[in-house]
Amino acid sequence: MDRVFGMVYCVAKNCRTKSGQGIHLFTFPKDSERRELWIGNINRENFEPAPHSRLCALHFTPDQFVINPELAKSIGYTSKRNDLKDTAVPTVFKKDIKRKKSNSAQLKTLDLEEKESQS
């Protein structure tokens, strides 16, 4: 595994996650098909990830993790590891996420359909 020194940032557009915040940063997959899905979903024009490029855990739904973080929390299980499934693809981006105002920088997903139906 490559060692990255210094500050590492999430490459997703408008994401402010960086190393040291307690949010896992993932390397891009080596599998070309899945890698292209990640790049396409990031939706950054002419983006080609470098070896040090990372994407943070906030861009993945709970079901994309080996251990679902929401389920684990509900039963009191804590783990220092936050592994993605081999099939994980990022789908949560700025237009549909909102950070809580706390030091934990946890992700709050918005149910856009529910908001629209209330309008």
pLDDT score, position 104: 36
CA 73 – CA 43 distance, rounded (Å)? 31
- Classify residue 6 as exposed, middle or buried by CB count within 10 Å of its CB (0-12, 13-18, 19+): exposed
CA 20 from chain center: how many Å? 15
- The reply to whether 19 falls in a domain is no
DSSP letter, residue 12 = S
Cα–Cα distances in Å, from 110 out to 24, 44, 82, 93?
21, 22, 22, 11
pLDDT score, position 3: 55
pLDDT score, position 108: 33
- The reply to whether 17 falls in a domain is no
pLDDT score, position 111: 36
Which domain covers residue 90, as residue numbers? 25-114
- The reply to whether 81 falls in a domain is yes
CA 43 – CA 41 distance, rounded (Å)? 5
Burial 64-79 (b: 16+ CB within 10 A, else e): bbeeebeeeeeeeeee
Number of structural domains (the chain) is 1
- The reply to whether 80 falls in a domain is yes
- The reply to whether 94 falls in a domain is yes
pLDDT score, position 100: 45
Q: Per-10-residue mean pLDDT for the chain, 119 residues long?
A: 71 93 93 94 92 95 84 74 89 65 36 42
